[in-house]
Structure 1
Amino acid sequence: MDTSNSSAPEYVLTLDCPETRGIVHAVSGFLLEQGCDILESKQFDSQPDDHFFMRIHFASAGDPATLESLSDAFVPVAEKFGMHWELRRQGTKRRVLIMVSKFEHCLNDLLFRARIGELPIDIVGVASNHPDHQGIVEWHGIPFSHIPVTAETKAVAEDELLKLVDGLDVELVVLARYMQVLSDNLTRRLDGRAINIHHSFLPSFKGAKPYHQAHARGVKTVGATAHYVNAELDEGPIIAQQVVEVDHTYGPDELVAAGRDTECKALSNAVRWHCEGRVFLQGNRTVVLR
């Protein structure tokens, strides 16, 4: 690549489509015709179901193309191959709403990573069914919404959450230890754009108190799983996992403490990969092009 024009605008193109010959040739040829240089290219051919996934990071060299002109010009290529695709300016921050209950470690981790620029996100709000974290959230200059949830008010509370999502133009909802089971209606509305952290290495030890379940089984590792939310409790497509070794000397409280760091790391990885356009849904699993 010619690096003389260091201010050249950069973009990320993500796509998936049925596998066939000529996809890479067509995409790279398109970028050549548009005067663009490829900086990074990742691809995966899922042979069992004949599906192709691709992520390309490129720069517009010479006469810089715009997001609009590139998108318009790419439509014929996408239509030819039946692509599901997205083109974004590199570094564009996704608008994120965080939902949390009383455990604050994942919330604090996301707030910090966003503040130092490690995550490509703009946290536009934090919602909680408890008021405990209002102070730290507002210290970061982020609006805090206290939305209590009881069995009688669950439907009303979820309506309020959806109003926040729509009103704040939220692109991704992050459940950072939000200890409420979402209704089928809410999970459908957030399909593909809600990430949950489960404090266990799924598919083992689902539901409540997984570390206590792990202790009862005498596990030698504990971990955490970040996954997309769906209607099945703790069954959504897995994006990222982290583990840490433990032994017989760990009681339930020690397992909980050991698992906190894995929860933070798994969740931040999942959020970053999603917002960088590296995660593709494939049925009940994901393809992550890193």
Structure 2
Amino acid sequence: MAHADAHVLIVTCASRPGLVAAWSGCLFQAGANIVEIDQHADLAEDRFFMRIAFTAAAPPDRAGLAAVAARFDAHWRLYPPRGRQRVVIMVSKFDHCLADLLYRWRIGELAMDPIAIVSNHPREATQAVDTGDIPFHHLPVTRETKPAQEARLRALIEETGAELVVLARYMQVLSDDMSGWLAGRCINIHHSFLPGFKGARPYHQAHARGVKLIGATAHYVTGDLDEGPIIEQDVERISHADTPDDLIRKGRDVERRVLSRAVNYHLQHRVILDGHRTVVFPD
């Protein structure tokens, strides 16, 4: 269960006895009430990951938390009670993921403020989606104009103070420089169950191989195409009778589900990056 009024503490360090007791004891001494705690010990890699959500009358003493971190040589981050993150959504011609994100935002399911919609196609391409008063930015791109287009995109993100960028079926590959600049704060939905069928036209690749399951993968963007740390995945059953167009139609549902879950996990600080992997504590 999500607790909108809770602070969130994220901890990563080497796995050793006493970690949960030390951190929870520190919060107890600070007068905090723990409402949710998740931890994972990767014994093979000697790594420990923990997420604690807690309420407190006043912000906890950071010096006390820093002392516990020093004791265990831990990396930690404290997030205030959940605010609404400023989000830029990028889209091309397929608008089902955009529509789903905006619907979930409007009903209060996603703690975000969509501050801009960016597309490499004119507004008419997604006119079936009610974007309300959200500013729409048409930033067309070709191979020759890509550096200039990404410079405009970067300026937009900086000017709006965006904390997260969501590629909601944005069918352009970001440059290595742009991917690096957005590391850890850009989520993409790829319409296949990675690592299978990377790159372009994955549904056609899947059809050619006669697979019986198709899937979708939400991952953080990196400079390596479709290789970023995976946040969420799901599948949909298909049959030999399905055409590539059938796969595209059936895939829309799983794509929007997977992307919305991944965005929600990120907004709630439930995703911890661990190199090329992630540790995710679902709600």
Deviations 1:94-136 (A, max 9, x none): 2111111111010111111111111121111111111135756
Task: Kindly report which structure 2 residues correspond to 1:242-257, keeping only aligned pairs within 5 A, or say none.
Answer: 242-257=234-249
Change in 2 beyond 3 A, CA 1:260/1:138: closer
2:137 paired with 1:145: yes
Q: Which residue of 2 aligns with 1:231?
A: 223
What is the Cα deviation at residue 146 of structure 1?
A: 1.1
Per the TM alignment, residue 71 of structure 1 is displaced from its structure 2 partner at its CA by 3.4
User: What is the aligned counterpart of 1:107 among 73, 94, 98?
Assistant: 98
Aligned residue for 2:205, secondary structure, equals: helix
| 1:147-197 deviations in Å (ceiling 9; x for gaps) | 110111100011111111111111111101111111110011011111100
SS in 2 for 1:48: coil
Equivalent residue, structure 1, for 2:67? 76
- Aligned residue for 2:109, secondary structure, equals coil
Match of 1:4 in 2: none
Pairwise CA RMSD? 1.7
Q: Does 1:54 align with 2:50?
A: yes
Q: In 2 relative to 1, CA 72–134 (structure 1 residues): closer, same or farther, beyond 3 Å?
A: farther
- Whether the aligned pair in 1 keeps the contact of 2:86 and 2:161 (CA below 8 Å) is yes
* Aligned: 1:95 with 2:86: yes
TM-score in terms of structure 2 length: 0.93
C-alpha distance in 2, partners of 1:136/1:13? 40
**For 2:200 and 2:51, how far apart are their aligned partners in 1?**
37
1:108-127 superposed matches below 5 A: 108-127=99-118
- Output the amino acid matched with 2:73: G
Q: Do the aligned residues in 2 keep the contact of 1:99 with 1:173 (CA within 8 Å)?
A: yes
What are the ranges of 5 or more consecutive residues in structure 1 without an aligned counterpart? 1-7
Say if 1:47 and 1:100 are closer, same or farther in 2 by CA, change over 3 A. Answer: same
Residues 251-266 of structure 1: matches in 2 within 5 Å? 251-266=243-258
* Rounded Cα–Cα distance in structure 2 between residues aligned with 1:184 and 1:228: 13
- Establish whether residue 39 from structure 1 lines up as the match of residue 32 from structure 2: no
* Kept after mapping to 2: 8 A contact 1:225/1:241: yes
Instruction: Provide the TM-score with structure 1 as the length reference.
Output: 0.91
**Structure 1 234/39 Cα, relative in aligned 2: closer, same or farther at 3 Å?**
same
Q: Give the structure 2 partner of residue 16 of structure 1.
A: 12
Q: Which runs of 5+ in 2 are unaligned?
A: none
Q: Does 1:241 pair with 2:237?
A: no
Question: Within the alignment, does 1:65 sit opposite 2:58 as a pair?
Answer: yes
Deviations 1:75-104 (A, max 9, x none): 222233233222223332221111111110
Q: Partners in 2 of 1:244 and 1:238 — Cα distance? A: 18
Residue 282 of structure 1 is matched in structure 2 by 274
The correspondence for 1:269, drawn from 240, 246, 261, is 261
Which residue of 211, 217, 221 maps to 1:219? 211
How many corresponding residue pairs?
278
Equivalent residues of 1:78, 1:85 under 8 A apart: yes
| Percent identity of equivalent pairs | 52
- Any residues of structure 2 matched to 1:177-216 within 5 Å, and which? 177-216=169-208
